[in-house]
Every structure is written in structure tokens, then in C-alpha cells.
Structure 1
């Protein structure tokens, strides 16, 4: 039994849930369309280029959570999962997860997208362990801030090492599946890095390192 680690966006699902949640807010008139749509697209492009200021992005993306009652937020999220996310889950991703489950591996998702958005998505795959940026929640309300280390680039490594210490799991025989060059720090940490439908920079790195390259599309 080993640790099987999965990125979420554009790996287990066929798009980016962070970007799609922002677009969902725009489409439902929950945020200002002109401002939010343009900013959301810019941050996503920065992410793809590997130059995202994660703290600036989190200030932007978590602000809507502080503007609405938690019950309403959960209702919107449920609609988001049903209408936007379920159609982009991947049969091959489900099969890959089940292959590792059948082998007795410990399943873990490590994602830059915040826990509010990702927790119900990960549950669609029957995975209990999730490392994600954690929005602050006080007195029954989201504050628009985050707690701890953002789960992004080197932050994924930091959070994984903390989790390993508390879970008594190890990286012996571990694998990590990801599409993004932003995950190179974590890909280089595990025993078996796998590039999944990789972006151009990850494709090049995987080819140079001789890592497996697969598609779940």
C-alpha cells in the first residue's frame, strides 16, 4: 500500500473549478460581472503562466464568501456541483482512483483551489483526504480570509509534509498525478510523478525527466 496523490483541476476533472466557480458567480449575478469576470480571467492566465500572486488571488476569490450567508453559499455551491462540475468529471479519472483504491493505496487530493469549492468535488470521487487552501470561518460566517499556508506550488509540499507527520503515512512508493507545471515541486518529491494531460511546461519537464505522460480525457 502506498500514497496516491491527485491534483484536482484539469486532472481529475476536465476544467478548473476555481475559475468555473468565479464564472458561476458572474453568471448568476452574485458578483459584479464586468469587474469580476475580467479579474477572474486575468488571475487564471497568471496561474497558467506560473506567475500567480496567490495571496492577491485569494483576497479576490474569497471575498464573495464574506458577502453572503453561509446557508446561501452552500445552496449556490450545491447548484454549482450539479450543473457545472458533475458534467466535467472524467470516467477515466474515476477508474484510476478506483484502481488505486483496489490496491489498498491511501488516496489524497492536493489542490490549489480552496476547500469551500473543492470538498464536495473530491467527495464525488469517494476520496476522504484533501489538502487545500482553507478559508477562515468564524461565528458561522466566512471572513474572506484564509488560514495557514496557501496550497500552491511550494505550499503544497509544506502542507503535504505536515499531513504526513500527522497521518503517519510516508512517501515510500508514492505517486502524484498532475497537469500543471505549478506542481513541479511536489512532482519532484514523490517516487512516481505522472503528468496528466500536461500543460506545455510540464510536458517538457516530464519528457526531460522521463516521467510517464497519460491522458484521462
Structure 2
């Protein structure tokens, strides 16, 4: 048995879905654009630098989910998929995912971005398994809180291991495993698989990949 795991933002997507969702909410007038845009950009810069306060970021990014009625959120997300995500989905990313699926491997997308934003994106890539940060709900409405461990840095590894355990599997169930990512934040996961692959990596991950003799690929162009 083989396992193939994919980061989403700036890996299978040409861009970051979390940041793009914030920009989209500003454009649609669903949040206070001036204040939200500035904080959204600030958090994004910290994420890229590896200095993100994830708890603070999650309080920020999940607040609109709690404030906006679910029916309105769902309509906004449909528009988001059509106007933003469809343009960000990389054709080579779709091909890479499809090859792993056609080879009979267990395939999942593993992303720090919350499951409301990323669930439809994973389905658009034809991937049925999604490990993402889970926004808590009560009576069908988001609370603004997180359910369980956020899928960020070491949290991705924790969440993947829990997912495997739920199927009575573990890392030893797989003769080979892949993880594809662009980000220094994913070093814990990359170090754990048999085939770590840097996809259009940031500067830190690129240097680490070269030193470790990991493959470096681009899905763009």
C-alpha cells in the first residue's frame, strides 16, 4: 500500500486559498474591508516567514464564519470557487493528483486552511480525503472556534496519524509515502514520509530540500 499527501496552498493552487478568501470577503462587503485587509495581509506575511501566531490567526479568520449566516456563506463560497479558485487550480497539480489516484494509492490533501474553505476545493481536485483545520459548529452554525488540533506545522502530522488510526492504519502500513509542499511550515511532515517533494518552495524550504537532496519540482507554467 502507498500513501500520497498533498499540501494545498501554493502547492496544488497557484496562490493561498485562506488569503484569497479574506480578499474575497472584502470585495463582497462581507467584512470591514479596510481593517480586515490589513490584518489579513499581516498574518499572511507572518505565515510566509514562519512566525505566524496560529491561535490569533484562527480567531481572526474564523470570526466571519461565525458572523455570517450559513446559507449566505455557502452562496459566497460558490462564487469564490467560480471567480477565484477555478483560476488558481494548477493543471499540473490536477495531473499529479490523478496519477497517484490512478495508481491505487491512498490520497489526501493536508492543509492548515480551514475545512469550510478547502472542502469544495479538495472535491474539485477529485480528492475524497481532506485533513484540514476544523471550524467548530453548533446547530449547523460556526462558532468561531477550532475543533481539535489545527492542521498546522506539527499539527499536520498529529492529524494525519489520527486519520490513519481511524482506518486502523499507521505509517508502517505503507511501503512508500509522499508529501508535496511549498512551505517551510511543513518540514515536520516532509521529514516523516519516505518521499518528501518540494513544490515551488519558499526560500527556506528550497535550501533545506537541496541540502537534504529532496526533489524540487514546479507545477506552474
TM band (smaller chain): over 0.9
1:72-96: per-residue Cα shift (whole Å, max 9, x none)?
1000011001100001111101110
Give the alignment partner of residue 191 of structure 2, picking from 188, 191, 195. 188
Residues 114-153 of structure 1 correspond to what in structure 2 (within 5 A)?
114-153=114-153
1:77-127: per-residue Cα shift (whole Å, max 9, x none)?
110011000011111011101111111011101000000000000001110
1:21-43: per-residue Cα shift (whole Å, max 9, x none)?
00000111111111100000000
Deviation at 1:168, TM superposition (A): 3.1
Distance in 1, matches of 2:103 and 2:14, equals 25
Aligned length: 217
Question: 1:23 is matched with which residue?
Answer: 23
Does the Cα contact within 8 Å between 1:3 and 1:170 map onto a contact in 2?
Answer: no
Question: 1:197 is matched with which residue?
Answer: 200
Distance in 2, matches of 1:12 and 1:24, equals 20
Structure 2: tracts of 5 or more residues without a match? none
2:108 aligned counterpart, secondary structure = strand
Question: 1:177 is matched with which residue?
Answer: 180
2:137 aligned counterpart, secondary structure = strand
1:161-208: per-residue Cα shift (whole Å, max 9, x none)?
111111234433000000001000000001100000000000000000
- TM-score normalised per structure 2: 0.96
Question: 1:75 is matched with which residue?
Answer: 75
- TM-score normalised per structure 1: 0.98
1:115-172: per-residue Cα shift (whole Å, max 9, x none)?
0000000001110001000001111211111110011001001111111111234433
Question: 1:40 is matched with which residue?
Answer: 40
Does the Cα contact within 8 Å between 1:115 and 1:133 map onto a contact in 2?
Answer: yes
Does the Cα contact within 8 Å between 1:108 and 1:127 map onto a contact in 2?
Answer: yes
Question: 2:113 is matched with which residue?
Answer: 113
Deviation at 1:45, TM superposition (A): 0.2
Does the Cα contact within 8 Å between 2:65 and 2:73 map onto a contact in 1?
Answer: yes
Structure 1: tracts of 5 or more residues without a match? none
Question: 1:57 is matched with which residue?
Answer: 57
Q: Which moved more, 1:126-135 or 1:138-147?
A: 138-147
Distance in 1, matches of 2:99 and 2:65, equals 36
Distance in 1, matches of 2:103 and 2:168, equals 19
